Amino acid sequence: MFLSLLSLSACAGRLDPSVRQRAATDLSCSAESLKVEEVEDRGFNEGLYRAKGCERSQQYSARYTLFGCRSHTPEEIAAREAEEQARAEAYRRHQAERQAAGGGSSGGGGSATKFTSTRVTNLCPDKGLLFHGRQPGHSGGRTDSISGNATFNVSGNEGDSLWIVDDKGEGVSSFTYSKSVDQIFITKSRFGFSTSRS
């Protein structure tokens, strides 16, 4: 944890150069001639920047990750989030189809698995990282994300788990699907679930 904090602190001062280096390639302009300005401070390890040079400009979201400082264009971020959402929707459809198929053959002595949907609201302004599965880091699950101050529906079988994970992919809080819970909240700290806004 101490080394991670040191890396985070060191990278926080290098977001500007990270943007400059990326923009030099994108704008076909020398890094020295670029003007880089911060548009929005998004916290200790993230910011929105605009690079200008050679009669062109480009906006970037720069942040610290475990792999160093990274800069991405809004188009890249939108494409990645759309891809994540598409994977999530495909997974939910698959789960629904599997449940529907299983429901028609539950005439034996066993009980059918109960499929349920829950509404998730992120009370934190930062994007939350999620994991659907028994335990983060193990096979059989999938990663997901939810934008800051956003709401979406998640689905699973009763007894399945939904996790909040940190930047390392490690679980920090979990919710177990239940028919009795149709709304949960990610707390403002981004690292906990709650059944109420408070």
- Please, which pLDDT band fits residue 65 given cuts at 50, 70 and 90? low
pLDDT at 110: 44
What's the pLDDT score for residue 125?
A: 87
Q: What is the CA radius of gyration of the chain?
A: 21
pLDDT at 5 > cutoff 60? no
Cα–Cα distances in Å, from 141 out to 45, 135, 154, 163?
A: 28, 8, 14, 10
Local confidence band at 27 (pLDDT 50, 70, 90 cut-offs): very high
- 172: Cβ contacts below 8 Å, ≥ 6 apart: 163, 164, 165, 166, 191, 192
Write down the H helix ranges in the chain.
2-12, 15-26, 74-103
Determine the Cα–Cα distance for residues 137 and 9; give it in Å rounded to an integer. Answer: 26
Per-residue pLDDT reduced to its tens digit, 89-138: 777 777 777 767 765 444 444 445 578 889 999 999 888 899 888 888 77
d(CA 163, CA 50): 35
Average per-residue pLDDT for the chain: 80
Output the pLDDT for position 121. 92
Length of the chain counted residue by residue: 198
Measured between alpha carbons, how far is 20 from 13 in angstroms, rounded to an integer? 13
CA 53 to chain centre: 32
- Whose CA is closest to 156, among 166, 169, 145, 141? 141
3-state SS assignment for residue 117? strand
